[in-house]
Amino acid sequence: MPIWGAAADGSVILSFCHLPTTRFRYPPPDFNLLPPVSAYCCSSFFNKKFSPMIGTHSQSDHFHGLKVKALGSYGGNNKPIAPLQFESPTGQLLSQIMQTHPHLLPAAIDQQLEQLQSDQEGQKSEKQTSSQDLLYRRIAEVREKERQKSLEEIIYCCVVQKFIENDILMIPKISPSSYPSGQVDSWPNQEQKLEAIHSPDAMEMIHSHLTLILGERLVGPLNTTVEISKLKLGKLYAASIMYGYFLKRVDERYQLELTMNTLPKKKIPDQRILEGLKPSPFWDMDSLVQISADDEGFNDDDVEEGRSYKLRSYVMYLDAETLQRYATIRSNEAISLIENQTQSLFGRPDVRMTEDGRLDTSNDDVVGISFCGLTMLVLEAVAFGSSLWEAESYVECKYHFVIN
């Protein structure tokens, strides 16, 4: 099943059905999306004091003393709290517990992870005779797929709960037929809430990400509406999730080194960020993590005088191997969630391969969206990616599934 691309130029759809990991692609400098206007530790992942809002499909994580209230609606109609619905018995169970017995949810999540671990260990310890080999392998494959689906939905539960914790309503499924005016961004403006979940250093880079995508349009009228294909929106959303995942990962390391006063002491030229990176089917070398230097500039005197430098400068210091590792989605479950979350918002892309090998996107729907709505879409995707890194790290503490 193809994932909506990390290819920001709108010309490629990447397939990850046989690949263990993927990496985000940062939009190239000349990227033109729009037409001209005409890990935390296990014990700290969950906030213990917030009061969640519950919708049709909701999940929670390691919280204590939860309170429940009804979820607000979009346009007066009740909408699910997240666009992706739960399918596995585990996901549906946690959703039900969240709505009926929220105080049991923390133990329920940990119990489900323990059960997955027990099932996996029990399957490994089973002994089969030669006559049972084929049947056993098939049963084992089915069980493994069921565990993977349950694990995905537990992780998704953690991600959704981060939005609930911050009182953020996730964007519902985007369908042109649901909006007679053709403009799909009828969701409330939650820009401040989405920005508040990031560190100030990370927000500077997120603003640069938005500027690179929107360009001069970012300072224009925010209510101006443009038409754009759902395919391009989906690619932008998926790429922004991957960017948020990377940014949270590297920001955690930066904040740790800043606290421990172990930041690099010697300035490295900006171009080193691309040195030593090997070509990959997931990116082209000209579009990978194009990050400009700090606007205020940086020199060695700043370090000698003890002044800290910004996250963007810290990224410049990372060697190629570290950068490549941090830009890699660690698990198949996280890759699947990026794909499913994107498709739950925009639907499956209607793309065909022509006889000459080109992609035919003529049947793709075109929707109207304001610059404000587009900004909200990108900010949600970045927040989703950031929460995905945290959720993946938390679950990994309880149930080892990430392949190093």
- What does the DSSP 8-state code read for residue 189? P
Q: What are 110's two structure tokens?
A: 């940990």
Q: pLDDT value at position 134? A: 80
Q: Give 235-250 pLDDT, tens digit per residue.
A: 999 999 999 999 999 9
Count CB atoms within 10 A of the CB of residue 257.
Answer: 14
Distance from C-alpha of 355 to C-alpha of 352, rounded to nearest angstrom: 10
Are the CB atoms for 8 and 26 separated by under 8 Å?
yes
Provide CB contacts within 8 A for 392, sequence distance 6+. Answer: 39, 155, 330, 331, 333, 334, 402
Q: pLDDT value at position 229? A: 84
Are the CB atoms for 147 and 123 separated by under 8 Å?
no
Where b means 16+ CB within 10 Å and e means fewer, 340-376 reads bbbbbbbbebeeeeeeeeeeebeebbebbbbbbbbbb
The distance in angstroms from the start CA to the end CA of the chain is 24
CA-closest candidate to residue 246, choices 296, 198, 284: 198
CA-closest candidate to residue 53, choices 63, 39, 44, 43: 63
Are the CB atoms for 276 and 321 separated by under 8 Å?
yes
Are the CB atoms for 215 and 380 separated by under 8 Å?
no
Provide CB contacts within 8 A for 274, sequence distance 6+. Answer: 285, 288, 320
Low-confidence ranges of the chain (pLDDT < 50): 1-41, 43, 48-77, 130, 270-307
Length of the chain: 404
CA 58 to chain centre: 18
Q: Which long-range contacts (CB under 8 A, 24 or more apart) does 41-50 make?
A: 41/397, 42/394, 42/397, 42/398, 45/158, 45/390, 45/391, 45/393, 45/394, 46/106, 46/161, 46/394, 47/165, 50/164, 50/165
Are the CB atoms for 25 and 282 separated by under 8 Å?
yes
CA-closest candidate to residue 294, choices 209, 200, 204: 204
Angle at 271 between CA 12 and CA 381, to 5 degrees: 40
Reduce the DSSP state of residue 47 to 3 states and report it: coil
Q: Mind spelling out the 3-state secondary structure of 114-165? A: HHHHHHHHHHHHCCCCHHHHHHHHHHHHHHHHHHHHHHHHHHHHHHHHHHHH
Q: Give 130-175 pLDDT, tens digit per residue.
A: 456 788 888 888 988 999 999 999 999 889 888 988 889 999 988 7
Q: pLDDT value at position 128? A: 53
CA-closest candidate to residue 143, choices 121, 119, 125: 119
Q: pLDDT value at position 386? A: 97
Q: pLDDT value at position 176? A: 64
Distance from C-alpha of 114 to C-alpha of 136, rounded to nearest angstrom: 23
Are the CB atoms for 86 and 92 separated by under 8 Å?
yes
Q: pLDDT value at position 231? A: 87
Distance from C-alpha of 332 to C-alpha of 329, rounded to nearest angstrom: 8
